[in-house]
Chain A
Amino acid sequence: MSGLLAVFRREFAAYFATPVATVFIVIFLALSGTLTFTLGQFFARGSADLMPFFQFIPWLFLFLVPAITMRLWAEERRLGTIELLLTLPLAQWQAVAGKFLAAWAFCAVALALTFPLVVTVNLLGDPDNGVIAAGYLGCLLVAGAYLAIGAAISALTKNQVIAFVLAVAVCFLFAASGSGIVVEFLSRNLPALSEAARAISVTERLNGFVRGVVSLSDLVFFASFIGVWLFANTLAVEHRKAD
């Protein structure tokens, strides 16, 4: 476990040792705020909740999360430090989990910094803070799902641009598969797949959390989703470590 913890601490500190953290957090806060107040019509809706904020999160994370994960393994490969990391006495899954958890913790920090929105709705009205907390939990799980996808893809290449583009594409699949357009198209042409498409959609799962419903099946979905991608990540590191 000391290996996992050491990797976690190194990775987490690395975000703040470079401008990555500042740029990511500033852009995330600016975009999430702008979208919430303009397109989301935060004020005009006249309802004290964070629905407009939460609904943009999966789409914002779609581009921002792969920007975090693209360097996770690709950079280790490019710098050659992967040889150092994997010849230290730690199991591969510990390196994978340490990196993933550090990236996740970083996303949690970014999400936590949107607290002025929570303060605002509480000043303007009387929102259900339990629903808001559930929404934040959902957003964190969506971030985790995207991070797990991006980390696994990053382990396959030493080129960060490729890692970014592929991760956005795969995340998009899981974001869009629950959208009206896709489900309608599938139910008209391939009805067998339309239910499956909804079931694997992270945005569809997030909707439950945003309504304040934290269901066991959704938690199990995210846990196994992240688990499967991290397992793929470990395999990718194991089999391509020296390439």
Chain B
Amino acid sequence: MSALIEIERLSKRFGAFVAVDEVSFQVAKGEVLGFLGPNGAGKTTTMRMLAGFMAPSSGTARICGHDVQESPVEAKRNLGYLPEGAPTYPEMTVEGFLTFCARVRGYDARRAARRVADAIALTQLEGVRLQPVETLSKGFKRRVGLAQALLHDPPVLVLDEPTDGLDPNQKHEVRELIRRMAPQKAIVISTHILEEVSAICTRAIIIARGKIVADDTPAGLAARGPTMDAVFRSLTLAAAA
């Protein structure tokens, strides 16, 4: 079966600065790809291009075979995307916000209500269903963003730091959720937390200065040095030098 996410020689330049430099990779169904790298390495920029929010300077990104630039609506229909920082409309209630997302995705009122109820149950938001998002803690806001990404049960999930700001219990829950969904989907998550990669990812890509410096299984990466931390440091610092 062909890959659900296909990225080919994707580049993004801001003036003279090259944020992402000819990045290529594919993610197939059942894979959970950990996207690692120091701050400013180009993780978020790559994910934004994959989600169709940022136009690449060159190269292509395809989701389920749909080019995100040429047929953006079809590509986005197959994508669940959690943007960096999990932005939401602060004055809306959790349920109102998710219902809005469901309606934009074309569900009629009855099916939207069912989708929203499912997403709320999956991300354990029942207790805050009718609260405005602005009154929620950081961990809850992140889960609202996650619920929005899962709402339509998409074949492709792109999650930018899904566990940032969560407490250890919530992190565990989100990782369990990702693990449960993994067999049916192609998932990309970006993270700073190396243990998370060993915990849930089937594959890890390390990016530094816009270039891929490693593409391996977590076990393969860990085997390259004494610890995962040491491997990460030597790979990313070598690229910076």
Task: Give me the interface of A with B, judged by CB distance under 8 Å.
Answer: 2-3, 5-7, 9-10, 13-14, 17-18, 79-81, 83-84, 86-91, 241-242
9-residue interface stretch from B2-10, B48-56, B178-186, B196-204: B48-56
Q: Which of B53, B54, B91 has the most CB of A within 10 A?
A: B53
Q: CB of B166 within 8 A of chain A?
A: no
Bound-complex Cα distance A91 to B105 (A):
12
Interface class of chain A by DSSP: helix
Bound-complex Cα distance A79 to B81 (A):
17
**Which residues of the partner chain A approach B100 to less than 8 Å between Cβ atoms?**
6, 9-10
User: Is B85 a contact of A80 with CB atoms below 8 Å?
Assistant: yes
**Which residues of the partner chain B approach A3 to less than 8 Å between Cβ atoms?**
104, 106
Q: CB of B218 within 8 A of chain A?
A: no
Bound-complex Cα distance A210 to B170 (A):
62
User: Is A87 a contact of B79 with CB atoms below 8 Å?
Assistant: yes
**Which residues of the partner chain B approach A88 to less than 8 Å between Cβ atoms?**
76, 101, 104-105
Q: CB of B25 within 8 A of chain A?
A: no
Q: CB of B129 within 8 A of chain A?
A: no
Q: Which of B53, B89, B96, B104 has the most CB of A within 10 A?
A: B104
A96 CB to nearest chain B CB (Å): 14
Bound-complex Cα distance A2 to B101 (A):
11
Q: CB of B77 within 8 A of chain A?
A: yes
Bound-complex Cα distance A81 to B83 (A):
9
CB-nearest residue of chain A to B97: A10
User: Is A90 a contact of B53 with CB atoms below 8 Å?
Assistant: no
Partner of B83, one of A10, A18, A87, A241: A87
A160 CB to nearest chain B CB (Å): 15
Q: With A17-B92, A79-B87, A80-B87 as known contacts, state yes or no: A87 contacts B104, CB within 8 Å.
A: no
Partner of B104, one of A2, A17, A80, A241: A2
Bound-complex Cα distance A128 to B234 (A):
83
User: Is B106 a contact of A2 with CB atoms below 8 Å?
Assistant: yes
User: Is B81 a contact of A87 with CB atoms below 8 Å?
Assistant: yes
Bound-complex Cα distance A55 to B100 (A):
39
B105 CB to nearest chain A CB (Å): 6
